[in-house]
Amino acid sequence: MSAVAVKTLLEKSRPGASGALVTDNDFGEPGVDHYFEPSQLRTTPVGLPELTESEIVRHFTALSKQSHGVDNGAYPLGSCTMKYNPKRNDVLAGMSGFRDAHPHQPPETLTGLWELYFHLQQHLCEITGMSSASLVPAAGAHGELAGLLMIRAYFEHINQHRPTLLITDSAHGTNASSAAMAGFQCWLVPTDPNGLLDIQMLDTMLDESVAGLMMTNPSTLGLFEENIQEIASKVHACGGLLYYDGANMNALMGIARPGDMGFDVIHVNTHKTFSTPHGGGGPGAGPVAANHLLEPFLPGPVVVRSGNTFMPDPDRSLSIGRIKSHHGHVAVLVRAYAYILTLGARGLRQVSENAVLNANYVQARLADLFPPVFNRLCMHETLLSGSRLETETAYFAKKLIDHILHPPTMLGAGCVYFPGNLKAAMLIEPTETESLDSLDEMIEVFRQVFSESSGSAEP
């Protein structure tokens, strides 16, 4: 079913149309001249569209019906993990004790919140293999910045000048941006033909100027870095630290931990791993966790326990300080906590197993039309080639939208941060929350649109 085009407000505008006029009996007939001096008034029209109130409401209602989300269809957007958000967690986050709490309350009146924060910190440390965590960062990229500022603060504390940060070329685009904001010079480590980090090139780049290596595992190519312990050993041998972009933790929970791989600091994207709402202009959460070496530098507040009392730790002299006002995004963190408690250790492992299984199922079922760029088992997402399409992949993506299926991530020629010639590649992440029937329906749409696109010309 094709989407119906909606005219813009300017196209619908007609002179003289307006909403209801409300007369203020205290001032007589309405008019701005009652409230402003003539010198404060505009002498030329603003140029806004003119419509009635009902027309404006209908316009935005029509647009809302064309929005696509996981509540009305599959959303296999690679790298973004657009999974279903359990509605029970929305209800829990809306409980009055959380909803009505005010950030300016005295800390001693928030003891229930501190207790939840403490246990969420503990759960995140157990899942990631770290020793302590802060829940304050407002989103994944904000968590990146916090972790990198901690690395910078550590080297300043031990009086070492290390201005360089290495970043894998398959990293998320925010990695380099966060590193630059933290004051580092960034250099990309290339990927080898197998889609893994090029260790020989890494050897040539490691020296005493390197503060660390920033990477995610599995990578944004959907592959697990099999040589991660060797990589960690090399980085640590030159005195550097290892930063883990936690975007792809949903492939590892209960199976492997970044801390055990040798990473020193990590941020976790709650929307990617713990099924909290994703973006939309609203708040997110990107908790940051660290090992014993970097723990003292965590941003506050870090909640600690003394007997049966839970309160922010007042003694953090080496902390990088506050990176956000107040205490983090409570409603998002409550959802993540509820998700972890609902599933438990066994359930979280099943989440990761299902995420990997679903991605490999999609890869196998579509391989004859969209061959894998790296012909091997993938993790939570798969990178498929659109080289057999007779049209541009962008046209293929538009056709998917017509079938009420959100397109995968289209790497395109402009995505220069991905390695090699991947201009026709598609990064597909079905996520663990899609059922087998849902996957089969999605695969059928891909195959149907492939057939429709063959031999057709772009409009």
Confidence at residue 259, expressed as pLDDT on a 0 to 100 scale: 97
Lowest mean pLDDT segment, chosen from 65-69, 101-105, 182-186, 425-429:
65-69
Phi and psi at residue 267, in whole multiples of 5°? -115, 155
Phi-psi region of 235 (alpha: psi -120 to 50; beta: other; left: phi over 0): alpha
Residue at token pair 């600091």: 265
Vertex 78: Cα angle to 441 and 274 (nearest 5) = 95
Provide the pLDDT confidence category of residue 22 given band limits of 50, 70 and 90.
Answer: low
pLDDT beyond 60 at 421:
no
The two most distant CA atoms of the chain are separated, in Å, by 81
Task: Dump pLDDT digits (tens) for 97-119.
Answer: 999 988 899 989 999 999 999 99
What does pTM read for this prediction? 0.87
Q: Which residues on neighbouring strands pair with residue 188, listed in sequence order?
A: 167
pLDDT beyond 70 at 28:
no
d(CA 458, CA 241): 49
Q: Which residues on neighbouring strands pair with residue 164, listed in sequence order?
A: 185, 210
Mean pLDDT of 141-157: 97
pLDDT beyond 60 at 31:
no
pLDDT beyond 50 at 458:
no
Task: Dump pLDDT digits (tens) for 318-329.
Answer: 999 999 988 889
Cβ neighbours for 385, distance < 8 A, ≥ 6 positions apart: 370, 371, 372, 373, 424, 425, 426
Nearest Cα residue to 218 out of 78, 21, 332: 78
Phi and psi at residue 224, in whole multiples of 5°? -85, 130
Mean pLDDT of 421-444: 91
pLDDT beyond 70 at 182:
yes
Confidence at residue 40, expressed as pLDDT on a 0 to 100 scale: 85
pLDDT beyond 80 at 5:
no
pLDDT beyond 80 at 227:
yes
pLDDT beyond 70 at 1:
no
| Domains of the chain, earliest start first | 87-341 (3.40.640.10)
Task: Dump pLDDT digits (tens) for 361-419.
Answer: 999 999 999 999 998 999 999 999 988 988 888 889 889 988 889 999 987 544 434 55
HSE-CB at 138 with a 13 A cutoff on CA atoms is 9
Confidence at residue 391, expressed as pLDDT on a 0 to 100 scale: 84
* Rounded percentage of the chain residues whose pLDDT exceeds 90: 71
Task: Dump pLDDT digits (tens) for 232-264.
Answer: 999 999 999 999 999 999 999 999 999 999 999
In terms of average pLDDT, the best of 44-53, 65-74, 122-131 is 122-131
Nearest Cα residue to 123 out of 270, 323, 284, 314: 270
Q: Which residues on neighbouring strands pair with residue 325, listed in sequence order?
A: none
Say if CB 257 and CB 234 are below 8 A apart: no
CA dist list (Å): 134 to 52, 121, 150, 295, 339:
49, 7, 12, 10, 18
Summary mean pLDDT of the chain: 90
Which tokens belong to 458?
């772009």
Which tokens belong to 352?
């990761």
